[in-house]
């Protein structure tokens, strides 16, 4: 099946560049290029594209307003083209919350090699978006939680000895937010690898910090991992854990890409298996590809507990599916129930 793609960008240069990249792929058909939201609206109605690449910063009607209207009127898979600035990163996460499937920074036009790499990446993201499920996760209020949603309290020993590791890719920013919003403030240290380019992860961590009960930050090399904190792997850096004395510490590196990714979920999970062993709990969420399956296998072999997000709530079921296929997942749970299952497991450790 040919993927029909519409490019929406106010820059003639970017439109031309993206258009040529899309036309170079035999699986894709460039159905139109729009310079603003008004042109885009007409083209959406005329061509009914499978995927739209959408610039956030546009004249007249900005990308977020257009996206919001589009998702209400005719839900379509959208890949945001994001400026590599703090404001751009913030707008990007708002776009993902509105229903965009994925994002990619604007291309750097200064090197042919960079353009070639960008072409591979954008085409992969368009293919992934064409297969993605369009979901709207229900928002969970962080304050004034009703009494029925009080979570089991975890023992001091569990909080101090356990480690939770989370891996995700396409659709993961909203899935991670949804999961963390349901967790209490007192948790074992949480380490997170979400496939994301440099320049976006700090803003992502700040967003999670603001919208959850946990303290969330971008991981720093050598820092001690503390209870009640969640640590996000920086873009373009692998995050691993090591054990020094009785404490877990973060280790950052720029090693080779694994499964095409840096940060890689496998790199994180393999280190968690090695140093946390039976004290580890791993959660693999929505994402394209197979990154994380090897690491889940290692964690299961070392006596840790493994959870995978169920297919119904995944934007892309690739990463959980690969781990499930290998028989290394102890529990497959849809996203709305995942926090409860995770907490009940951690609470049961206190009773053992």
Residues annotated catalytic, as ranges: 169, 195, 291
CA dihedral 315, 318, 323, 329 (to 10 degrees): 20
Question: Would you call 246 helix, strand, or coil by DSSP?
Answer: coil
Give the Cα separation of 237 and 257 in Å (integer).
9
Give the Cα separation of 243 and 222 in Å (integer).
10
Q: How far is CA 1 from CA 18, 131, 275, 318, in A?
A: 20, 11, 46, 19
Cβ atoms within 10 A of the Cβ of 184, count? 16
Give the Cα separation of 179 and 306 in Å (integer).
15
Cα-only R_g, the chain: 20
Q: How many residues does the chain have?
A: 352
Contacts of 319 (CB under 8 A, 6+ apart): 167, 168, 169, 265, 284, 285, 286, 287, 288, 289, 290, 291, 292, 293
Contacts of 251 (CB under 8 A, 6+ apart): 221, 222, 239, 240, 241, 242, 271
Phi, psi dihedrals of residue 94, rounded to the nearest 5°: -65, -35
Give the Cα separation of 38 and 52 in Å (integer).
14
Helix (H) or strand (E) holding 318: helix 318-325
DSSP of 151-162, one letter per residue?
A: PPPPPHHHHHH-
Give the Cα separation of 305 and 299 in Å (integer).
7
């Amino acid at each position: 099946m040919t993927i029909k793609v519409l490019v929406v960008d106010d820059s003639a240069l970017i439109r031309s560049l993206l258009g040529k990249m899309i036309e170079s792929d035999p699986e894709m058909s460039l159905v139109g290029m729009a310079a603003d939201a008004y042109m885009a609206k007409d083209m959406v109605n005329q061509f009914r594209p499978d995927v739209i690449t959408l610039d956030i910063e546009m004249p007249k009607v900005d990308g977020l307003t257009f996206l919001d209207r589009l998702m209400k009127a005719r839900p379509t898979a959208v890949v945001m083209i994001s400026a590599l600035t703090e404001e751009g990163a913030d707008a990007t996460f708002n776009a993902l919350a509105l229903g965009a499937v994925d994002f990619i920074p604007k291309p750097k036009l200064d090197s042919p090699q960079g353009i070639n790499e960008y072409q591979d990446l954008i085409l992969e993201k368009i293919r992934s978006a064409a297969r993605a499920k369009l979901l709207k996760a229900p928002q969970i209020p962080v304050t004034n939680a009703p009494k029925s949603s009080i979570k089991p309290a975890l023992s001091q020993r569990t909080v101090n000895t356990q480690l939770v590791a989370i891996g995700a890719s396409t659709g993961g920013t909203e899935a991670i937010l949804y999961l963390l919003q349901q967790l209490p403030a007192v948790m074992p240290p949480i380490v997170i690898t979400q496939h994301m380019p440099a320049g976006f992860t700090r803003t992502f961590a700040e967003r999670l910090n603001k919208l959850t009960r946990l303290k969330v930050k971008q991981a720093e090399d050598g820092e001690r991992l503390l209870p009640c904190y969640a640590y996000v792997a920086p873009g373009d850096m692998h995050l691993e854990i090591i054990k020094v004395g009785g404490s877990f510490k973060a280790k950052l590196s720029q090693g080779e890409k694994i499964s095409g990714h840096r940060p890689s979920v496998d790199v994180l999970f393999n280190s968690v298996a090695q140093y946390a062993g039976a004290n580890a709990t791993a959660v693999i969420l929505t994402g394209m590809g197979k990154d994380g399956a090897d690491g889940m296998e290692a964690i299961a072999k070392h006596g840790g507990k493994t959870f995978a997000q169920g297919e119904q709530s995944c934007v892309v079921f690739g990463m959980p599916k690969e781990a499930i296929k290998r028989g290394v997942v102890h529990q497959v749970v849809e996203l709305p129930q995942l926090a409860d299952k995770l907490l009940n497991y951690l609470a049961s450790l206190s009773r053992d």
